[in-house]
Chains A and B, each alone.
Chain A
């Protein structure tokens, strides 16, 4: 009862060749820059892009296998998809949009309406059922698209950049809502995104895609702590710190305190970029940096002209410094150091 995909296909100049599996209840985020082939992966899963070579199995049903001439039409696959710009039907009301899939599958009108209303309620759009998509805000349109996809009772939910169509001001709130709505879906989920924050907030596991190939997979913590290439390090090599914000500081479960420049109280996560961390041998007596933690160097990785250091302590962090700085300090594994970060260099998101 899983999704197993081996996808090889050529679309324009993109040569896609990826393999992955998703378990029920799991959300896999495929993370990569534009043009890496993320959307094509989703289109192949949905049946909108037939495979050249490979095989896709959803819940033990082979839906695409060119070798045996098997191809299940998109309409016959148990997949629901939330498109990048939502692709709501502009001439239909929210109710008709959500009921569309059921009507297409010949569910009687009254039954389809009743179930569509339930979904509209569930995603918090009650009162908007008669509105046209053009009258909805970005976040509302996203929820309408989610309700429309889930109303057909899919086993596999596909999300194409679900947050990229939103402006920065509403993204945080919509991301939190989406997490809540996705949690109530027990099928398999695949999301593609170019934003590590979305992947971290929503996914159980990430697959990093580069030019049509998956270069690394794992939990977000694994991938961020041990990026296997410069590319992955640049893309996701950030420190994500969970905790609760109170009085301008975030406190982690282990008791570490992160001073923030600007944050509202409540459960949150902070993003600390490795290159904004300064490594010092002695405890700084007077510094404008508001955050100073003590730790021990446990790992040293050279990635091109940079060195990534793993510093374990009350707040484990990955720091990135230049080779020149690394050599000047003559750092070695087991050395005791202090890590410091300016409060203004830390981004914080509500969890």
Chain B
């Protein structure tokens, strides 16, 4: 058992060590402060935060609907809304293109009425990222809502609170740890998004070229820079995961005290 576990750890550690071993440390700062790299990083941060915000805005009501109401076809709706987690992102990008592209199902009307086309814009990056990221928030929040004792919500209603007031002041604080965890997971997923972005939004520096795309491009033209950018993304993801674990553990302790 232990030997197999060590193999598993090595399996995850070796690629990282490989990158660190080959990293051109002396030129690292130059590569990172390179204009193209900085632009890609800034764009990545902006779009992924927008995608997270949209995931929270639409994902929380969706999770509430799935957890708290009964309607025919609920399982099908849940499967539909979490499909993009298992779908190859490229397929998602293609699908988005045929829905929202200039000739797409909805896109043709948007183009005709507003003379606006979504694909190959920064907004398209946000849409592609939201498409793949929101399910992470939905399943995390839905699970928390299902586990939550509904008595305090009922108490709020008998005290004269509307459903919205009760949700805001009683339910939301109770699921906050799950909401934060779901938002962080969504954000990390949005940050790493590649397939749907490149098919739906393209790869234009400054407007749609996010970090993963920049890494992919640099691998062809400047492998050393690709390594440095990869390490930066790994560092960010690693920091996120470590923070998330602390939060989970921290909150478990809180719950134990209260129950």
Contacts and interface: CB of A to CB of B under 8 A. Distances in A.
Interface of A: 43, 46-48, 73-77, 79-81, 83-85, 87-91, 100-101, 104-105, 132-134, 148-149, 152
A94 to B, nearest CB: 14
Interface residues of B, number: 20
29 contacts: A46-B154, A47-B157, A48-B154, A73-B157, A75-B157, A75-B158, A75-B160, A75-B162, A76-B160, A79-B158, A81-B154, A81-B158, A83-B155, A87-B149, A87-B151, A87-B154, A87-B155, A90-B152, A90-B258, A100-B169, A104-B156, A104-B159, A104-B160, A104-B165, A104-B166, A104-B169, A148-B155, A148-B159, A152-B160
B170 A89 contact: yes
A152 B159 contact: yes
A65 B40 CA distance: 63
B206 to A, nearest CB: 44
Contacts of B174: 90-91
B147 to A, nearest CB: 14
B157 A85 contact: no
B171 to A, nearest CB: 10
Nearest to B172: A91
B20 interface: no
Given A90-B258, A91-B173, A134-B257, A101 B154 contact: no
A148 to B, nearest CB: 7
3 interchain residue pairs of minimum CB distance: A101-B159, A104-B161, A87-B151
Nearest to A77: B158
Contact of A85 (B151, B158, B166): B151
Interface in B155-214: 155-162, 165-166, 169-170, 173-174
B159 A48 contact: no
B134 to A, nearest CB: 26
B160 A83 contact: no
B148 to A, nearest CB: 11
Contacts of B154: 43, 46, 48, 74, 81, 83, 87
A83 B151 contact: yes
B161 A46 contact: no
Contacts of A73: 157
A75 B161 contact: yes
A271 B161 CA distance: 43
B160 to A, nearest CB: 4
B170 to A, nearest CB: 6
B170 A74 contact: no
B155 A104 contact: no
A89 B258 CA distance: 10
A100 B151 contact: no
A104 B162 contact: yes
Contacts of B257: 134
